[in-house]
């Protein structure tokens, strides 16, 4: 893992958590209050699983080709922590093995270092290797991830948000990128939850490959593990339903936001491939309708203005439908197929508690009716490792779309998204910078002394 981290071009991370506490507090109007709520969750809950996806760009390959190595670490906090039934239920439905976690989970403690932490083979030493590697870090809706990582593997969280962001800017001088922000403001996809964003980028990339042309495409390669290493690899079936025809009973709630309060009890489809198929059909129908209207307008001339209010309303209704049934491409399954073709080797995976807009997710109704014949079975499994892979893929695609062939090797990978963490319900991101009014925390200063030697000034490869 350390070798993969040190040789990567960028690293994507995702976490599975034991809970988040009050969803209302997590969406507080004040960002400072929101930070305090996340800190409370990080101090009282724990990381159950941590996913790493290390993307290494290969110079001797055509287009943008990456060697990808994916790791899924099952963790067990050595201290008491809260675990929420709703989170347990969700993870169990998506294949999380709690027996394995309690039997084999990698132990860690939260807060500041204890004697021996710096010299052992443990999560804290691995996290320090991540800092020393000085690689761009990629997350999806990552503020919660960053707060939990800080508390669980680094030090006690500072009380003020400004101090926290100042610490982060020094911990990751090559930059932090949030793919939820990138999908909303750079790629401008219809929806931005993780599986939707991943599958949409994969679909667009596949079309670019099939269409040829001069544009750069994303290709992936994977390690071929053999011998004893093969026993550590998980393989999952890839299901592709994009060619299914007929009426699609899509769950509007899931298609728009990536979650459904009914969960596996929902009788409507949560299949993101079907959602994409229907969304594209709606878009094509709207395009044809506009084309017919334009022809009609040309023939009728000024008389067409009489129907403009009706046309406006129709367009508005269509826009609402687009928002409700997007080209969803990320669901609740985790799969990792043995890779051969870069753009079609992986199956869908889903985000647990942070990657959709689940901060606003209401409590799952207790009334889940017993419908043995209609109950929808959730496909695949749910893994932090696969979610990290999807996050990295979105970033690779976004980077490809914004890449300047003449840019220097030290330039930010996606300049417009550098050090901007997505904030739900806000039109502006959280900027990960050290302001003139904020000081770094004492615990962070001591850690930086250890990580980089005597000086806390980190050499930043020009990307800070």
Q: How many Å apart are CA 463 and CA 182, to the nearest integer?
A: 18
Q: What is the Cα–Cα distance from 330 to 255, expressed in whole angstroms? A: 10
Q: What is the pLDDT of residue 8?
A: 97
Give how far the C-alpha of residue 384 lies from the chain's centroid of Cα atoms, to the nearest Å.
10
Which pLDDT score is estimated for 301? 60
Distances 275 to 258, 286, 291 between C-alpha atoms, Å:
11, 16, 24
Residue entry with tokens 């009334």:
367
Once rounded to an integer, what is the mean pLDDT over residues 273-292? 80
In this prediction, residue 284 carries a pLDDT of 80
pLDDT > 90: percent of the chain = 44
Helix (H, G, I), strand (E, B) or coil at 96: coil
d(CA 95, CA 384): 11
Give the pLDDT of residue 241.
52
pLDDT at residue 127 greater than cutoff 50 = yes
Cβ-Cβ contacts under 8 Å for 219 (sequence gap 6 or more) = 61, 62, 63, 64, 65, 66, 342, 343
Give the pLDDT confidence score for residue 240 in this predicted structure: 57
| Distance, C-alpha 121 to centroid of its chain | 28
pLDDT of residue 409: 65
Parallel, antiparallel, or unpaired for β 430-431 and 420-421?
antiparallel
Exposure on the CB side of residue 214, measured as CA atoms within 13 A: 1
pLDDT on residue 60? 84
pLDDT at 324: 33
The model's confidence at residue 382, banded by pLDDT at 50, 70 and 90, is low
Q: What's the pLDDT tens digit per position in 220-256?
A: 999 988 888 888 888 766 665 545 554 458 888 787 7
- Please, are residues 418 and 395 in contact by the beta-carbon 8 Å criterion? no
Position 268 scores a pLDDT of 83
pLDDT in tens, 55-66: 999 988 878 999
Q: Each residue of 37-47: b (16+ CB within 10 Å) or e?
A: bbbbbbbebbb
Q: Answer whether residue 448 shows pLDDT above 50.
A: yes
- Between 430 and 410, the more confident residue is 430
> Residue 137 above 50 pLDDT?
yes
Cβ neighbour number for residue 313 with a 10 Å cutoff: 10
Beta bridge partners of 10: 55
Q: Is the pLDDT of residue 376 over 60?
A: no
Q: Are 170 and 208 in contact (CB under 8 A)?
A: no
The pLDDT tens digits of the residues spanning 255-276 come to 777 778 777 778 887 877 787 7
């Amino acid at each position: 893992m350390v070798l993969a981290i040190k040789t990567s071009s960028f690293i994507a991370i995702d976490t599975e958590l034991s809970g988040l506490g009050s969803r209302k507090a997590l969406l507080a109007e004040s960002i400072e209050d929101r930070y305090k709520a996340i800190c409370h969750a990080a101090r009282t809950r724990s990381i159950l699983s941590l996913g790493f996806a290390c993307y290494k760009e290969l110079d001797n390959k055509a287009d943008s080709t990456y060697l990808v190595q994916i790791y899924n670490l099952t963790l067990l906090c050595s201290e008491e922590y809260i675990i929420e039934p709703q989170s347990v239920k969700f993870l169990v439905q998506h294949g999380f093995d709690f027996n394995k976690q309690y039997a084999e989970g990698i132990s860690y403690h939260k807060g500041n270092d204890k004697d021996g932490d710096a010299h052992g083979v443990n999560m804290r030493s691995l996290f320090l290797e991540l800092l020393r590697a000085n690689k761009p870090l990629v997350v999806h809706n990552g503020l919660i991830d960053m707060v939990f990582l800080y508390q669980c593997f680094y030090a006690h969280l500072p009380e003020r948000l400004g101090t926290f962001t100042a610490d982060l800017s020094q911990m990751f001088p090559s930059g932090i990128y949030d793919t939820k922000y990138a999908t909303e403001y750079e790629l401008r996809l219809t929806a931005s939850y993780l599986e939707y964003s991943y599958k949409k980028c994969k679909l667009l990339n596949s079309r670019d490959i099939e269409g040829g042309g001069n544009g750069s495409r994303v290709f992936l390669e994977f390690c071929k593990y053999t011998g004893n290493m093969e026993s550590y690899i998980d393989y999952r079936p890839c299901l592709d339903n994009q060619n299914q025809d007929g009426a699609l009973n899509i769950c509007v709630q899931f298609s728009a936001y990536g979650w459904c309060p009914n969960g596996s009890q929902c009788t409507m489809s949560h299949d993101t491939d079907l959602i994409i198929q229907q969304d594209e059909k709606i878009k094509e129908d709207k395009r044809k309708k506009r084309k017919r209207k334009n022809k009609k307008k040309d023939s009728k001339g000024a008389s067409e203005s009489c129907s403009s209010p009706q046309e406006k309303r129709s367009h508005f209704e269509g826009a609402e439908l687009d928002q409700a049934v997007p080209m969803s491409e990320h669901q609740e399954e985790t799969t990792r197929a043995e890779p051969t073709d870069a753009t079609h080797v992986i199956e869908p995976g889903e985000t647990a508690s942070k990657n959709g807009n689940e901060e606003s997710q209401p409590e799952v109704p207790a009334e889940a009716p017993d419908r043995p014949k209609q109950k929808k079975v959730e496909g695949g499994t749910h893994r932090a490792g696969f979610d990290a892979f999807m996050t990295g893929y979105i970033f690779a695609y976004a980077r490809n779309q914004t890449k300047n062939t003449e840019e220097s090797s030290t330039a930010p990978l996606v300049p417009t998204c550098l050090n901007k963490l997505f904030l739900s319900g806000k039109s502006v991101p959280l900027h990960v910078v050290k302001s003139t009014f904020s000081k770094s925390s004492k615990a962070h200063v001591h850690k930086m002394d250890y990580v980089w030697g005597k000086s806390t000034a980190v050499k930043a490869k020009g990307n800070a």
